[in-house]
């Protein structure tokens, strides 16, 4: 298929949630190298709370991510709760009226989510943040569409660019957040936000590919 039903995409929501829950220890280990080590703990808290709220019921893509976004904003401290909360709420807002999500609609939804985050957070590519994963991933997806690739191929390109973006943070010096105080000592390790963003985008893409 060239599209999927918004109302029939609960597997996408749950795959994203379960992926973060399954990797929370790893995320905190990554964060602990140059941060305060609580990224995985906080993410696990918010995503687990959302999973419990949803209770395994069938939800639309927009409904599920709206619940996730609100939970992250209201329940999670630090910078990542509001950041990811904004991402998922803007994602949900961008696709809530779209019944059949095709490759163009999904691209517009990603763009809406990114713009929402950029209005809230001024981090840019090169600052060693989740933007180093998110922006290249979306650009890779858009380039795939411009090149005439189908939905599945574009999602694969998004995953590839997200992984590259995450890995690029290893050689960067942090310019924002707690890690920025370390200067050159922040070089040589991955950024935790970029790492979790990669997990989110990959799990989202994999689940969509399964229902296309």
Convert the pLDDT of each residue in 124-154 to its tens digit.
999 999 999 999 999 999 999 999 999 999 9
Query: Would you say 207 and 16 are in contact if contact means Cβ atoms under 8 Å apart?
Result: yes
Q: Which domain holds residue 113?
A: 3-205
Residue 211 within any structural domain of the chain: no
Convert the pLDDT of each residue in 30-59 to its tens digit.
999 998 899 999 999 999 999 999 999 999
Residue 148 within any structural domain of the chain: yes
Query: What is the reported pLDDT for 96?
Result: 97
Above 90 in pLDDT, residue 14? yes
Mean pLDDT of 59-72: 98
Residue 210 within any structural domain of the chain: no
CATH number at residue 158: 1.25.40.340
Mean pLDDT of 52-77: 96
Mean pLDDT of 92-100: 98
Query: What is the reported pLDDT for 52?
Result: 98
Residue 109 within any structural domain of the chain: yes
Total domains in the chain come to 1
Above 90 in pLDDT, residue 179? no
In DSSP terms, 5 is beta-bridged to 100
Helix axes 192-211, 131-146, angle to 10 degrees: 30
Query: Would you say 35 and 177 are in contact if contact means Cβ atoms under 8 Å apart?
Result: yes
Q: Show Cβ contacts of residue 46 under 8 Å, excluding neighbours closer than 6 positions.
A: 68, 71, 72, 75, 76, 81, 84
Residue 212 within any structural domain of the chain: no
Above 80 in pLDDT, residue 178? no
CA dist list (Å): 2 to 91, 124, 151: 20, 32, 6
Residue 163 within any structural domain of the chain: yes
CA dist list (Å): 201 to 20, 21, 93, 128, 206: 11, 15, 18, 17, 9
What tokens does 48 get?
């687990």
């Amino acid at each position: 298929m060239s599209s999927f039903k918004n109302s029939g995409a609960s597997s996408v929501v749950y795959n994203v949630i379960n992926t973060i829950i399954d990797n929370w220890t790893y995320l905190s280990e990554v964060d602990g190298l140059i941060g305060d080590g609580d990224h995985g703990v906080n993410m696990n808290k918010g995503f687990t709370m959302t999973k419990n709220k949803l209770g395994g019921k069938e939800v639309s893509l927009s409904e599920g991510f709206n619940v996730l976004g609100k939970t992250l904003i209201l329940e999670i401290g630090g910078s990542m709760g509001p950041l990811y909360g904004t991402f998922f709420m803007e994602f949900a807002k961008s696709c809530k009226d779209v019944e059949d999500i095709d490759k163009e609609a999904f691209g517009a939804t990603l763009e809406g989510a990114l713009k929402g985050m950029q209005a809230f957070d001024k981090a840019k590519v090169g600052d060693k943040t989740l933007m180093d994963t998110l922006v290249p991933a979306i650009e890779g997806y858009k380039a795939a569409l411009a090149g005439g690739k189908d939905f599945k191929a574009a999602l694969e390109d998004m995953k590839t660019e997200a992984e590259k973006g995450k890995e690029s943070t290893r050689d960067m010096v942090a310019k924002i957040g707690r890690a920025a105080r370390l200067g050159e000592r922040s070089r040589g390790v991955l950024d935790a936000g970029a790492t979790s963003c990669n997990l989110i985008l990959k799990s989202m893409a994999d689940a969509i590919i399964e229902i296309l």
